[in-house]
Amino acid sequence: MWSRVLKYSSVFWPGGRWCILAVCLSGVLLCAGCKSFGPLTLTPVHSQRVALEPQFNEGFYRVTRDHTYHFYLQTVRHHAGKGPTRVTQIAIINVFWRPIPGVTPILSSAINATIRYIVITPGGIGMYQGAGFVRLFNSRGARVMHAAIVDGDLRLTGASGYFKDALGPSRIRGNFKAVHQPAREIALTLRARRHTYAASYSDRIR
């Protein structure tokens, strides 16, 4: 079928064969680009530590008037054993500007997002913070936004209780997605901030 399309395109549109090939190739590269980063992974800088895949099962986002994208990702795991074994992982990502293909110059050191990764365990809370570069694959306000952290850095900036830092300085990279639910994103982000603040405050007054 494609050979027939290319044949007739060269008759009615000189040079059309190469234009169609270019369009097809760019489409293939675009689709591949959406999936080329793999699952969201935190890789410790120190090689002796094990990489972590949070596998967030909930994600919500909103866009403000100044075109800032706010993401909230969360997963809750229950481990077998005695006593409370609930572990909650949260990622709060703020993307301040999105690149425009062919318009925005992108440097290897470009940063357009802040990243906050929170781990809540029965024994304490740990918060990692950093920055990185995020690509957005859907238009503003899409029902589901597919995105990817091209590259980012994280390090532990606060901990309370008996939290143990199992990552250390880390790199974060990979795909994620979120549903467009502004009210849900605001409510969960505020709850996470209150939770971490309350935990750190209780540690300070002991």
**How many helices and strands, by DSSP H and E, does the chain display?**
3, 8
Q: Given this model, what pLDDT does residue 205 score?
A: 43
**Residue 94 and residue 16 share a domain:** no
Q: Given this model, what pLDDT does residue 166 score?
A: 86
**135 vs 10: which has the higher pLDDT:** 135
**Residue 28 and residue 103 share a domain:** no
**Residue 172 and residue 135 share a domain:** yes
Give the total number of structural domains in the chain: 2
**Residue 187 and residue 97 share a domain:** yes
User: Per residue in 119-130, pLDDT tens?
Assistant: 998 888 999 999
Q: What are the tokens at 49?
A: 């530590």
Percent of the chain scoring above 70 in pLDDT: 70
**Residue 78 and residue 20 share a domain:** no
* Residue 13 confidence (pLDDT) above 80: no
**Residue 14 and residue 110 share a domain:** no
**Residue 76 and residue 26 share a domain:** no
Domain that holds residue 54: 39-204
Q: What are the tokens at 125?
A: 């809370």
Of the pLDDT bands very low, low, confident and very high (cuts 50, 70, 90), residue 182 is very high
**Residue 15 and residue 62 share a domain:** no
**Residue 15 and residue 95 share a domain:** no
